[in-house]
């Protein structure tokens, strides 16, 4: 495993299972990461500290996942110029729409990118795409992954055709 390049921050330990697909994808791609819990509302100073020190610690991208009034990713983006990828998490009664809307409507000047509600796998893939933007091993591994998933769709298509085509 390489030195940690992706900092994954979640708003609560209760988000752990929902963010796990992100680091599982990074494991699959051989990309190093660190996972932390820090809350925009309960431990705001720790969030700021994580955001401010991430670049000097060698991280190239930050993934931030939180539910409810999900200000974590935006607050991190306010304290770093590293790319920030948000994961709106399903928590509580509004099915993640609360997290999505409170994440994505950032004011001009402080950007972040967001995957869909519960999109932790895509957050891992997008973080990898950022790190691999200029080619190299990560870009090659992402290409292989795309080819493998396309092959699975073609195989499924052939299977369903064989099973449903009348003799
Ligand atoms: C958010 O509130 C967290 O990201 C989590 O999704 C939600 C509930 O947190 P807990 O009350 O379970 O710690 O800040």
* 120-156 pLDDT per residue, tens: 999 999 999 999 999 899 999 999 999 999 999 999 9
Nearest by Cα to 22 from 123, 90, 99:
123
Sequence-ordered alpha helix ranges (H) in the chain: 16-29, 44-53, 72-77, 97-104, 120-131, 137-164
At 5 the three-state DSSP class reads strand
Residue ID of nearest Cα to ligand 1 atom 6: 67
Model-wide pTM > 0.85? yes
pLDDT tens track for 49-94: 999 999 999 999 999 999 999 999 999 999 999 999 999 999 999 9
Interval between CA 12 and ligand 1 midpoint (Å): 5
Neighbours of 86 (CB within 10 A): 28
Distance 10 CA to ligand 1 centre (A): 9
Can you tell me which atom of ligand 1 is nearest the CA of 40? 14
* Residue bearing the CA closest to ligand 1, atom 13: 12
């Amino acid at each position: 495993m390489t030195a940690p390049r992706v900092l994954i921050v979640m708003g609560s330990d209760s988000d752990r299972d929902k963010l796990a697909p992100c680091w599982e994808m990074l494991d699959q791609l051989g990309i190093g990461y660190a996972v932390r819990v820090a809350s925009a509302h309960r431990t705001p100073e720790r969030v700021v500290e994580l955001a401010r020190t991430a670049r000097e610690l060698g991280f190239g991208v930050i993934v931030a996942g939180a539910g409810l009034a999900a200000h974590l990713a935006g607050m991190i983006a306010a304290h770093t110029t590293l790319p920030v990828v948000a994961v709106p998490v399903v928590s509580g009664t509004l099915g993640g729409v609360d997290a999505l809307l409170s994440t994505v409507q950032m004011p001009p000047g402080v950007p972040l990118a967001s995957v869909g509600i519960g999109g932790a796998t895509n957050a891992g893939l997008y973080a990898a795409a950022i790190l691999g933007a200029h080619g190299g091993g990560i870009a090659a591994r992402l290409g292989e992954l795309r080819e493998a998933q396309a092959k699975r769709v073609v195989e499924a298509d052939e299977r369903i055709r064989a099973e449903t085509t009348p003799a």
